[in-house]
Structure 1
Amino acid sequence: MTLPYLTDDCIYYILQHLQNDRSTLFNCLLVNRFWCKSTIPLLYANPFINMIEKNYSIISTIILCFNRTEILRLKNQLGISQINDIDFDEEDYKPLFEYTKHLENYNYFIINSVICKWFVKYCSDLSISHNKICDDIIPIFHQSILRQSRNIKQLDLLLYLFYNENFKNFQVQNFTSNLTKLNSLSLNFHLIGTNYTKINEIEQEFLSNISNISLNLRKLTIKLPRTNRSLFQYVTSNNLINTSTMEKLCTIIQKQNKLKMFKITNCYTLLNNVLLSLEFQKYSLVQIEFINSDFSNVSLKSLNDFYNLESLTFEICKGLFLDQCEVLNLASFKLKGLTFKRNIWNIDVTSLMVKYLGASLQRLFVDNPTIPLINNISMYCLNLICLKIRINFHIDLSVLPFFKNLRSKILNISISYYYSNNINEFFINLANNIPFDIKKISIHLLNSNNFLRFKEFLDNCHNGFEVIYLNHMIELEFLKIVLNYIERSNNSLKILGIRELDKELNDEELKLLNQIKAKGVRIVDFNTFYNVYYI
Structure 2
Amino acid sequence: MPCQLPADCLIDIFENLYDDKNTLYSCLLVNSLCCETAVRILWRNVWKFYNNNKPYISLSIINTLIACLPKESEEILHKNGINIAVPIQKPPLFNYASFCKVISIYKIDVMIQHTLKKYKKQSITSEDSKFYLYLLSEAKIHLSNLVKLRCDSDICPKFISHNLQSLTINFRNLFSKWIRDLISSQNNLKILKIANLQYISNYEYKEIILSLTKHSLTLTRLTLKNCKITKQFIAMFKNLQELNLDQNDTFYQLQNAYFSQLKILKIVYYNSYSSKDSIKILFKFLEINGNNLTVLYIYNNYYEQSLNLALAKYCPNLKILYTYIRDEETLKLILNNCQYLEVIEFCYDGREWLDSKIFFKVLANYSQKYFYGLILDFYSRLPIEELYQDLKEFFINWQGRTSQRSLSLIFVISETYYITKSAKINMKDIKLLIDKYKKFSIIKKFELKR
Instruction: Decide: shared fold, TM above 0.5.
Output: yes
Tell me, which stretches of 5 or more residues in structure 1 are unaligned? 88-92, 153-178, 191-201, 226-239, 392-396, 455-477, 529-535
For 2:166, the equivalent position in structure 1 comes to 219
For 1:482, the equivalent position in structure 2 comes to 391
CA contact 1:25–1:43 (8 Å) conserved in 2: no
What do the CA deviations read for 1:196-242 (whole angstroms, capped 9, x no partner)? xxxxxx93x85xx74xxx444322332211xxxxxxxxxxxxxx355
CA contact 1:103–1:149 (8 Å) conserved in 2: no
Residue in structure 2 matching 1:62, options 44, 61, 65: 65
Matched, 1:497 2:410: yes
Which runs of structure 2 are paired with 1:246-395 in the superposition (5 Å)?
249-250=179-180, 252-268=182-198, 270=202, 274-275=208-209, 277-296=211-230, 298-299=231-232, 303=235, 306-318=237-249, 320-321=251-252, 325-328=254-257, 331=258, 333-342=260-269, 345-346=274-275, 347-366=279-298, 367=300, 368-389=302-323
CA contact 1:401–1:433 (8 Å) conserved in 2: no
Residue 489 of structure 1 deviates from its aligned partner by: 3.7
Once residues 23 and 272 of structure 1 are traced to their aligned partners in structure 2, the CA distance between those partners, rounded to angstroms, is: 50
Once residues 372 and 497 of structure 1 are traced to their aligned partners in structure 2, the CA distance between those partners, rounded to angstroms, is: 28
* Aligned partner letter, 2:289: L
Once residues 28 and 117 of structure 1 are traced to their aligned partners in structure 2, the CA distance between those partners, rounded to angstroms, is: 33
Once residues 127 and 38 of structure 2 are traced to their aligned partners in structure 1, the CA distance between those partners, rounded to angstroms, is: 33
Once residues 437 and 71 of structure 1 are traced to their aligned partners in structure 2, the CA distance between those partners, rounded to angstroms, is: 64
Measured on the aligned residues, the alpha-carbon RMSD in Å equals: 4.4
What do the CA deviations read for 1:86-131 (whole angstroms, capped 9, x no partner)? 79xxxxx8656544344433322333444555677xx4xx6556xx
Once residues 221 and 523 of structure 1 are traced to their aligned partners in structure 2, the CA distance between those partners, rounded to angstroms, is: 33
Once residues 363 and 353 of structure 1 are traced to their aligned partners in structure 2, the CA distance between those partners, rounded to angstroms, is: 15
Once residues 151 and 430 of structure 2 are traced to their aligned partners in structure 1, the CA distance between those partners, rounded to angstroms, is: 50
Aligned residue for 2:217, secondary structure, equals coil
Tell me, which stretches of 5 or more residues in structure 2 are unaligned? 19-23, 414-424
Residue 336 of structure 1 deviates from its aligned partner by: 0.7
Residue 445 of structure 1 deviates from its aligned partner by: 2.9
The answer to which structure, 1 or 2, has the higher relative contact order (CA under 8 A, 6+ apart) is: 2
What do the CA deviations read for 1:114-163 (whole angstroms, capped 9, x no partner)? 4555677xx4xx6556xx356576555433211113323xxxxxxxxxxx
Which runs of structure 2 are paired with 1:5-16 in the superposition (5 Å)?
10-11=6-7, 14=10
CA contact 1:335–1:360 (8 Å) conserved in 2: yes
In terms of Rg, which structure is larger? Answer: 1
For 2:436, the equivalent position in structure 1 comes to 515
Structure 1 residues 378 and 272, CA gap change in structure 2 (3 angstroms): farther
Once residues 224 and 506 of structure 1 are traced to their aligned partners in structure 2, the CA distance between those partners, rounded to angstroms, is: 42
For 2:78, the equivalent position in structure 1 comes to 72
Structure 1 residues 256 and 327, CA gap change in structure 2 (3 angstroms): same
For 1:447, the equivalent position in structure 2 comes to 380
For 1:457, the equivalent position in structure 2 comes to none
Residue 490 of structure 1 deviates from its aligned partner by: 2.9
Once residues 12 and 342 of structure 1 are traced to their aligned partners in structure 2, the CA distance between those partners, rounded to angstroms, is: 47
For 2:356, the equivalent position in structure 1 comes to 427
CA contact 1:340–1:350 (8 Å) conserved in 2: no
Aligned residue for 2:366, secondary structure, equals coil
Once residues 241 and 275 of structure 1 are traced to their aligned partners in structure 2, the CA distance between those partners, rounded to angstroms, is: 18
* Aligned partner letter, 1:311: E
Structure 1 residues 487 and 64, CA gap change in structure 2 (3 angstroms): closer
Residue in structure 1 matching 2:150, options 178, 181, 186: 186
CA contact 1:295–1:320 (8 Å) conserved in 2: no
Which runs of structure 2 are paired with 1:118-133 in the superposition (5 Å)?
123=118, 132-133=123-124
Residue 449 of structure 1 deviates from its aligned partner by: 2.2
Aligned residue for 2:291, secondary structure, equals coil
For 2:419, the equivalent position in structure 1 comes to none
CA contact 1:351–1:373 (8 Å) conserved in 2: yes
CA contact 2:101–2:148 (8 Å) conserved in 1: no
Which runs of structure 2 are paired with 1:106-121 in the superposition (5 Å)?
106-115=103-112
What do the CA deviations read for 1:25-54 (whole angstroms, capped 9, x no partner)? 24534x8xxx88787666655444358986
Query: TM-score if structure 2 supplies the norm length?
Result: 0.70
Once residues 482 and 267 of structure 1 are traced to their aligned partners in structure 2, the CA distance between those partners, rounded to angstroms, is: 44
Once residues 279 and 65 of structure 1 are traced to their aligned partners in structure 2, the CA distance between those partners, rounded to angstroms, is: 38
CA contact 1:312–1:339 (8 Å) conserved in 2: yes
For 1:22, the equivalent position in structure 2 comes to 25
Query: TM-score if structure 1 supplies the norm length?
Result: 0.61
Once residues 140 and 273 of structure 1 are traced to their aligned partners in structure 2, the CA distance between those partners, rounded to angstroms, is: 27
* Aligned partner letter, 2:75: T
For 1:413, the equivalent position in structure 2 comes to 346
Structure 1 residues 36 and 405, CA gap change in structure 2 (3 angstroms): closer
